[in-house]
Structure 1
Amino acid sequence: MTRFNRRQFLVGSSVLGALGLAAGSVITWEEVHRHAAAAPLAPGTGILVLVTMYGGNDGINTVIPYADNAYHDARPELSYQPQEVLHLDGQLGLNPAMKGFADLWGGHNLAIVRGVGYPHPDHSHFRSMDIWQTAAPDRPVNAGWIGRWLDATGDDPVRAVNIGPVLPQLAIGEKHTAAALDPASAPLSPELSAASAALAATDPRDSPAQTLVCAGYHAEQAVTQTFSSIGAKPAAPGGNPLAAQLALVGQCIKADVPTQVYSVSLGGFDTHADERRTQQQLLGRLDEAVSAFLTDMAGHPRGRDVVLMAYSEFGRRVAANASQGTDHGTAGPVFVAGARVKGGFYGDEPSLTDLDNGDLKTTVDFRDIYSELLHRVVATDPGPAVGTSRHDLGLIV
């Protein structure tokens, strides 16, 4: 094998993204421990876990207005009867698949923010998710809201971690990105690990492009030291991919990994047909995964530090379509859960009859939720990420 030194490699390196350096450090499950041992997360530091439900979850059949005749009239075959739902009060109930969420509600550790959206809603999955993940409804921007927090607060590559090899837009900043922890990746061999360490070393003769490559390798080294051998790789309980992701997050938290924001996801919520069966199955996976994670955290000293938010890019239209599904809508519920959460309803329940061309009217701007989570959980100034005109809803005690 031909040998070459660091400078020869850097001079010949014209594609910075070849190893993911332009889009954040990709890390493996076997790389999770040394940095945690050297610089553990300080006790009492808030930890935010973001759960993205891709596809546009039908919020009306998630937090169900079972006592509203307009609900049953709009969905004569798709609606749930009062005896089927998990009652939260005399008007609203949870989907029958969400028994764990109902328990969280009963323990006052679940906040349900109703009617969440943004001005001038977009029915495109791609544009609406881009808006939610960048927190910029008025114009397309490159940086996500967590990415802007990273840009504003330093260059530690493990302050935010996405579980999975592809970073969501929310985790990408202009200068810094979250790390991507891919449980399926194989660890670097000792030879490649040593070579990576050598390539991370700086040299005063480096050009700006070479310095950027070295910075990427330096970030990879920091990530490798952080995420090295926490323990055995968790399997997906019952084939539930979200449960596996959250189990991995839980192990990272227990190991005192210095990460304040984790991102996980569950897809499949685009229920244009056969919605009841599909959505109930997906909400069951969400419920199983979140409930198991928060129960596990409740038995650990770090449990008090953890707050989880679950959201989707939009809700669905009020009326069912001809395929026993629903089409792209606007506002929907956001769930915030954890020991520090002040349980209850927040935001006004959208009317099912006073509609905007068949869609629910937004009653809460999603950026207010983001702002409070950054302020109260991450303990940072939310301004650089979501702007200065936001206000707390009182979700976090």
Structure 2
Amino acid sequence: MTSPTPCCPEYAAVTRRGLFRGVALAGVTTVVGSAVVTTSPAQALAPARSVLVVLSLRGAADGLSLVVPYTDPVYYAARPKIAIPADRLLARNGTFGLHPRLSALVPLWTAGKVAAIHATGLPVANRSHFAAMEAVEDANPGSTTRQGWLNRLIGTDASRSPLEGFHLGRSVVPTSLYGPQPVMAADRPDGLSIPAGDQRGRTRSLHTLWDSDRSPLGRGMRSAFEAVNGFGPVQAAADRTSSYAATDLGKALAQVARVVRGDVGTEVITVDQGEWDHHNGLGTLEWGSMRDNAQELATAVAAFFGDLGPHTGKVTMVVLSEFGRRVQENANFGLDHGHGNVMLAIGAGVKGGYYASWPGLTNTSDADLGVTTDYRNVLADVVQSRFGASIPRVFPGLKRKRVGFMQGV
């Protein structure tokens, strides 16, 4: 069977790659080729000591299918058609097990490089896709300042280079990267260029036109020139897309790996996987969207870490979604919008295994997985371990509670 298209009208703008078409980008931007650079003066960077890749599962992935609480009897009672049999789960620990289609992650799991943190989410339920995405990525509840948590993270040092933050996708940065710190977005690294033709002459003309312009647009153009010049080593890095599965996420992560291997000082990278809005057609192990999405996720992530070579030791990936799904299945082999969810942390600095203050499940039509861990505390563990950044600055107002899945935290 094949699963139908997502039924949420607000979600119709999110494609297979999870790339936004209808989100407004506030502020002045400068477009170079198919890339976009937010305005601000720029400077060259040293290679990054740590790199954070944030992979967003757009559409609200069902964490109870990805990481199954198979010893909670409500799970099977609430999902008589779509529950995953306990004997098919991977890496069981007496409480949780991984979806069988995540098998490509098992070597990383066995090596202690994958942590699954369950019952995480926003402190207050928000079942609107875009409102929840905005809240998760802003990570500053109650604030009217439009600045994402990743922009605050890279804005904690003195650099003003657009090379520090990169979104692999169409030329609109996600809320997490938006803010005063300049960042870039492009479909692929090769898209960041001066249009073909007499590039030397065009570059000279552009500098003549913009170098003395002190307006926001002029500053943005100079940042764009900096990005084009500085991104050369990334564009020279081998494109190993052929070593990935031929999926949208595989192709995207192949380009993310080029950015990492280019080693131009990029510290944070965002990328999306779409079509997780499983109101219907989530399916079983024999058919449906969940098994296909889970396999695409696992194979792409495994290939990505295998592609990093000597840079593997500095890259940490966080996988998250805007909210989870209801506990109880619906009549369409799917699940409606919920609250709590699972997050994954993979790679450098991770102490692998399952982490959860498990609230237990309830079998009613409106029951959600409860949130016992504020998702910002998961992100804060990563930020503190890998960057040593100020947690109050990156996550204002957070009631800090260490989760413990990162080394040194």
Which TM class, normalised by the smaller chain length? Answer: 0.7 to 0.9
After superposition, what is the alpha-carbon deviation per residue over 1:202-252, rounded to whole angstroms, capped at 9, x for unaligned? 25xxxxxx4212110111011001222324555474431211222112122
After superposition, what is the alpha-carbon deviation per residue over 1:63-101, rounded to whole angstroms, capped at 9, x for unaligned? 012233211110000101112221321221111110122
- AA matched with 2:186: L
Q: CA deviation at 1:321?
A: 0.5
Partner of 2:175: 169
Matched, 1:155 2:165: no
Matched, 1:340 2:349: yes
Contact 1:163/1:245, CA 8 A, preserved across alignment: yes
Structure 1 residues 223, 312: CA separation in 2 closer, same or farther (over 3 Å shift)? Answer: same
SS of the residue corresponding to residue 388 of structure 2 reads coil
Judge which range, 139-148 or 221-230, deviates more: 139-148
Equivalent residues in 2 for 1:321-336, closer than 5 Å: 321-336=330-345
Structure 1 residues 141, 96: CA separation in 2 closer, same or farther (over 3 Å shift)? Answer: farther
Q: CA deviation at 1:283?
A: 1.1
Between the aligned partners of 1:224 and 1:194, the Cα distance in structure 2 is 14
Equivalent residues in 2 for 1:267-306, closer than 5 Å: 267-276=274-283, 277-297=288-308, 300-306=309-315
After superposition, what is the alpha-carbon deviation per residue over 1:23-47, rounded to whole angstroms, capped at 9, x for unaligned? 4665769xxxxxxxx75405xx111
Which of 214, 217, 223 is 1:213 aligned to? 217
Between the aligned partners of 1:122 and 1:386, the Cα distance in structure 2 is 19
Judge which range, 376-385 or 302-311, deviates more: 376-385
Between the aligned partners of 1:40 and 1:138, the Cα distance in structure 2 is 35
Between the aligned partners of 1:119 and 1:147, the Cα distance in structure 2 is 22
Q: CA deviation at 1:373?
A: 1.9
Contact 2:252/2:271, CA 8 A, preserved across alignment: yes
Q: CA deviation at 1:129?
A: 0.7
Structure 1 residues 344, 370: CA separation in 2 closer, same or farther (over 3 Å shift)? Answer: same
- AA matched with 1:169: T
Contact 1:48/1:378, CA 8 A, preserved across alignment: no
Q: CA deviation at 1:278?
A: 0.3
Between the aligned partners of 1:238 and 1:26, the Cα distance in structure 2 is 30
Contact 2:156/2:389, CA 8 A, preserved across alignment: no
Partner of 1:315: 324
Contact 1:146/1:170, CA 8 A, preserved across alignment: yes
Q: CA deviation at 1:341?
A: 0.6
- AA matched with 2:176: L
Between the aligned partners of 1:91 and 1:330, the Cα distance in structure 2 is 20
Q: CA deviation at 1:304?
A: 0.9
Partner of 1:86: 90
Task: Calculate the TM-score normalised by the size of structure 2.
Answer: 0.81
Which of 355, 362, 373 is 2:371 aligned to? 362
Between the aligned partners of 1:395 and 1:161, the Cα distance in structure 2 is 26
Equivalent residues in 2 for 1:3-18, closer than 5 Å: none
Task: Calculate the TM-score normalised by the size of structure 1.
Answer: 0.84
Between the aligned partners of 1:335 and 1:357, the Cα distance in structure 2 is 26
SS of the residue corresponding to residue 132 of structure 1 reads helix
Q: CA deviation at 1:264?
A: 0.7
Matched, 1:255 2:276: no
Q: Which of the pair is proportionally richer in helix?
A: 1
Judge which range, 261-270 or 251-260, deviates more: 251-260
Partner of 1:33: none
Partner of 2:68: 64
SS of the residue corresponding to residue 311 of structure 1 reads strand
Structure 1 residues 121, 137: CA separation in 2 closer, same or farther (over 3 Å shift)? Answer: farther
SS of the residue corresponding to residue 79 of structure 1 reads coil
Partner of 2:193: 187
Contact 2:323/2:339, CA 8 A, preserved across alignment: yes
Residues matched between the structures, number: 361
Between the aligned partners of 2:155 and 2:32, the Cα distance in structure 1 is 18
Between the aligned partners of 1:395 and 1:195, the Cα distance in structure 2 is 52
Identity %: 27
Q: CA deviation at 1:138?
A: 3.8
Larger radius of gyration between Structure 1 and Structure 2: 1
SS of the residue corresponding to residue 404 of structure 2 reads coil
